[in-house]
Amino acid sequence: MVWLAIIGLLTLCHSGIAHRTKFPDGFTFGVATAAHQIEGAWNISGKSENVWDRLTHSRPELIADGTNGDVATDSYHRYQEDVDALAYLGVDFYRLSLSWSRILPSGRNNYINPDGIRYYNALLDALAEKNIEPLVTLFHWDLPQSLQDLGGWANPKMIDFFRDYADFCFREFGDKIKSWITINEPYEICEDGYGDEKKAPAIDSHGVGNYLCSDTLLKAHAEVFHLYNETYREKQNGTIMISINSIWYEPSDPENTEQVTLAETANQFKFGWFAHPIFTEQGGYPAVMVENIARESMQEGLTKPRLQQFDDYWIQRIKGTSDFLGINHYTTFLVTGPGVDPTAKSPSWLKDTGAVTTMEVGEDSASEWLRVVPAGFGNLLRWCKSSYNDPPIYITENGFSDRGTLEDYGRIKYLNDYLTEILNVIYEDNVRVLGYALWTLVDNFEWRAGFSERFGVYYVDITQPDRPRTPKLSAEYYRALVATRELPQDERFFDQARL
């Protein structure tokens, strides 16, 4: 033992940096999913239509392989198989989302669907039986279509609808759920859903609808936080946060000061759009966003900017409304210079940034937008520490897509390299990362990519009625990681030919 320790010490000294592989005590591991991507049962047991049902049925040509979430992985009927898979992985927590249209089919709280309540209680009880903590997202993109018909997140009335829905969920499930997420990925909801056609409801109101959405969404998030904080927290003793996705921007030439400035602008537009109002001392939208959009709007001949700063009431009301910073992270893009990005519509969020960007960096995945750039993750986390006053952080999603192979060395390498970045920022920069949720448990309905991009650590054969789940090599890797709290070194996890 002594000899081993000495050899270990010599190795550390030799490499200069202690290459840590062990996670600190108390660090938690989980897996994340979203209701619409796995549940199926889209039109039974009282569930109503949501915006993804509508989009996939009315415009199937927008989905890469023409599939939809009608059955998905049938988790509505097969949730016990999911829970057994989670137990096999040994995770501390399971991040899942509630389907609003399954619980409140009209979108409002005038009618409660008993089958929806039964389903989530059964799932929560099955998790409790295996000692797996639920981390529950109230809204993961599947808005009831009836509320979209009223304008969805572009309608300020959504603040009340969302609060009423959350109120019901806290009351009904709050004794079983200690950790809540209000909203998953506000940028993707607003920009991709209201400023583009990349996500449902595919309202391509670029440069306008996206900002109406963010005004409403941030207020709705804050109201739900305050409701929990004031009415439920003391009784239920839980926590509540928001999960923000980041594509991290770096200058393509780090020596180019103009690019460095523009990358910071792009990060303020992307992550700061939703993080700055909640996590800074100052509050409100980032100044650079307000300024750029005011300037662009004037040039377009508008008399009012397309995005305006919140008034002081709302700046104060939104500030500080998240117990943790929830980060979903997958990839990094590069900023190559100033100007109008060739892919930007006019007006649009991208044009408003004033930056030209490229995703030509790192190895690719099955997703066009996902390149493997582990170092960008470390840079994002250090930036969050310095920009947001050293918040406690949960990584609420991180993962890799391929076409569905069982020997998924690409996924394992991705996870291993991104988890190494987390260890580095914890030990070397004292970034307070407290837990990690891998995206995702089972190959699922990956939104507009359908089933053509596979993110699961379990393979799912969607051609079979019983949707059989088969663990991939990455499931064994994650299981070993969770069991030891240490990055697995076993060479069977690493493709020797590729190293």
Q: Which is nearer to ligand NAG, 232 or 330 (CB)?
A: 232
Per-residue binding letters, 135-154, with ligand NAG (x by CB under 6 A)? --------------------
Check the CA dihedral 456-199-321-287 and report its sign.
positive
Q: Which is nearer to ligand NAG, 321 or 332 (CB)?
A: 321
Check the CA dihedral 346-352-353-354 and report its sign.
positive
> Per CB under 6 A, which of residues 19..58 are in contact with ligand NAG?
43
**DSSP label at 142?**
-
Cis peptide preceding 391, ω within 30 of 0: no
**DSSP label at 207?**
T
d(CA 99, CA 34): 9
Taking the complex as a whole, how short is the minimal distance between the CB of residue 42 and ligand NAG, in angstroms? 6
Taking the complex as a whole, how short is the minimal distance between the CB of residue 383 and ligand NAG, in angstroms? 23
130 near 69, Cβ under 8 Å? Answer: no
Q: Which is nearer to ligand NAG, 43 or 386 (CB)?
A: 43
Distance of CA 460 to the CA centre of its chain: 22
**DSSP label at 304?**
S
> Per CB under 6 A, which of residues 168..207 are in contact with ligand NAG?
none
Using the rule CB under 6 A, which residue among 65, 70, 188, 417 binds ligand NAG?
Answer: 70
Taking the complex as a whole, how short is the minimal distance between the CB of residue 219 and ligand NAG, in angstroms? 14
Q: Which is nearer to ligand NAG, 216 or 321 (CB)?
A: 321
- The amino acid that residue 191 corresponds to is E
Angle at 241 between CA 79 and CA 417, to 5 degrees: 75
Catalytic (active site) residue 185: yes
Q: Which is nearer to ligand NAG, 146 or 229 (CB)?
A: 229
d(CA 282, CA 280): 5
| C-alpha closest to that of 408 among 312, 354, 476 | 476
402 near 365, Cβ under 8 Å? Answer: yes
Regarding 253 and contact with ligand NAG (CB under 6 A), the answer is no
Catalytic (active site) residue 300: no
Q: Which is nearer to ligand NAG, 320 or 337 (CB)?
A: 320
How many residues touch ligand NAG under the rule CB under 6 A: the total is 6
Which one is catalytic: 185, 223, 250, 421? 185
Distance of CA 180 to the CA centre of its chain: 14
d(CA 225, CA 163): 9
Using the rule CB under 6 A, which residue among 321, 336, 367, 444 binds ligand NAG?
Answer: 321
Using the rule CB under 6 A, which residue among 21, 155, 229, 261 binds ligand NAG?
Answer: 229
> Per CB under 6 A, which of residues 462..491 are in contact with ligand NAG?
none
Using the rule CB under 6 A, which residue among 21, 106, 261, 320 binds ligand NAG?
Answer: 320
Helices H / strands E in the chain, number of each:
20, 13
| Residue 26 neighbours by CB distance under 10 Å | 8
Using the rule CB under 6 A, which residue among 237, 299, 463, 496 binds ligand NAG?
Answer: 237
Taking the complex as a whole, how short is the minimal distance between the CB of residue 352 and ligand NAG, in angstroms? 29
Q: Which is nearer to ligand NAG, 205 or 229 (CB)?
A: 229
Which one is catalytic: 296, 397, 421, 476? 397
Tell me the two tokens of residue 118.
């039964």
- The amino acid that residue 23 corresponds to is F
Quote helix, strand, coil % in the chain, to nearest 5: 45, 15, 40
Binding site for ligand NAG (CB under 6 A): 43, 70, 229, 237, 320-321
Catalytic residue set: 185, 397
